[in-house]
Amino acid sequence: MFETMYSRSSFIRTHLLSTSKLAQVWQPLLSPRFHGSTAARHDSDLKARIRSVRTMANRPTIREVVAVAEFRALWIAHAQSRLGDQLARVAIAVLVFDRTESALLTAVTYALSFLPPLVSAPLLTGLADRFPRRTVMVVTELGRAALTAAMAIPGLPIVAVVLLLVAVVSLQPLYSAARNALLPDVLEGDRYVVGVGLASATDSVVQVLGFAAGGVLVSLTGSHLALGINAATFVVSATLVRTGVRHRDASAATRRSVGRSVSAGVRLIWSDHRLRSLLSLLYLYGFYLAPEGLAAPYAAQAGAGDAAVGLLMAADPVGAMIGSVLLSRWLPVRWRSRSMGPLAVASAVPLAMSALYPSVPGAVVLWVLVGVLSSYTMLVHATFVRLVPDDRRGQVIGLASAGLQAAQGLGVAAAGVLAEVTTAATSVGLMGAAGGLLAVLAGRSWIRAERPARAAGTDRSRSTHS
């Protein structure tokens, strides 16, 4: 055992582990309690710490993940497409609020960018299993480009814009299901978790840029240019996927009907306590999304202009960018599953605090913190996808996406109703408080669901090292 520790010393120095990490590894050897009747227990603890150090040192780097050409194409395609999406979100939010001056109608319109997948996802996402996923992504992006280009036509009535928005959003779950189902084939092992973290962080960056630039762009030029840019990003995305991702055959061995595919996916989720618990944690984000839907009314309540809307909407993505990096690169693997529940509860606190003294600077700081803490959803997503069999992944991810979109849409709509009868700030605080209470229940459910798997893993580890 001591020979093992000495042989690991050069390995540890090579990977620049901190002094505290070295102390954690060597402390059991230097402690008098190591000897005697407790030696076996300390020996077991020492081995666990060595494995933890080894795991952290061998964790894939971002450079290694980006070096995978297929992931790089998917990553860039999604990032620039999301940039256009955020420009469009700001454009539509400002357009509706300027014309109606109603927090309720603004929130309802924003909610329509989430609710349609509740119907479309179960019906469409099975296509990601029945047809080649690259083809599904390309066709979907081209369809969204055409619909968004129509939204950019000057003088189009708001009702027509909203209907086109519903059509565009209805196609989104199909693209997401195909992309998310494809990623585990492109990135294997822990590279997948790092890749998901990188994609999430990048998504947050482009949301920040899109929201911030969108506020300025819309205030200077109106909504039509932003919508036109969004249409162009869909075309670029389709091109990158078509040229940068290799063809793979459909994953499903047999082609089920839509009804059978949906029912099989529902049964799979409902029969697995782990999947149900993960979804309950994921859907809490519907409460924590309230600030985005109420950014315009909140800015108006604080006495700020349209430019502040983009800043408020960008706050959560900034925090998510920071949180994604922290969780994917620095959070030890053994803590990932245990941290999801506590982080879900903690995400509610800054929202509740932002109701006390409404101001744009204070809200930006607090909502950034919400983004950091709510990055636990990245861990939930990665864990969920890995638990689903490949031949059912597209459909199951689609169903999960439909539920998430519904939770987000209903959450924003509920926040709008509360804002109509109280204030935007009070509504944000109430949504945070409600989300925190439900997070306690969801976290407990995940602990109970995960306990058997963790116990089985511990037993296997003991048998291996005995």
Domain of 88, CATH number, reads: 1.20.1250.20
Strands (E), 146-238: none
Does the pLDDT of residue 19 top 60, yes or no?
A: no
Give me the helix-helix angle, 306-325 and 190-221, nearest 10°: 170
Average pLDDT over residues 169-195: 85
Q: 402: pLDDT confidence band, cut at 50, 70 and 90?
A: confident
Does the pLDDT of residue 140 top 90, yes or no?
A: yes
25 assigned to some structural domain: no
The dihedral through the CA atoms of 298, 301, 306, 308 has a sign that is negative
Query: Residue 44: what pLDDT?
Result: 53
Chain position carrying tokens 């969801």: 442
Q: How many domains does the chain have?
A: 1
426 assigned to some structural domain: yes
375 assigned to some structural domain: yes
Q: Tens digit of pLDDT for each residue in 412-438?
A: 888 888 988 988 889 999 999 999 999
Under a CB-based contact definition with an 8 Å cutoff, are residues 172 and 117 in contact?
yes
Does the pLDDT of residue 11 top 50, yes or no?
A: no
261 assigned to some structural domain: no
Give the C-alpha separation, 32 to 127, whole Å: 63
268 assigned to some structural domain: no
Does the pLDDT of residue 172 top 80, yes or no?
A: yes
27 assigned to some structural domain: no
Q: Tens digit of pLDDT for each residue in 213-270?
A: 777 787 777 777 888 888 999 999 999 999 999 998 887 655 666 677 778 888 888 8
Domain that holds residue 450: 64-251+273-454
Instruction: Count the alpha carbons within 13 Å of 244 in the hemisphere toward its beta carbon.
Output: 20
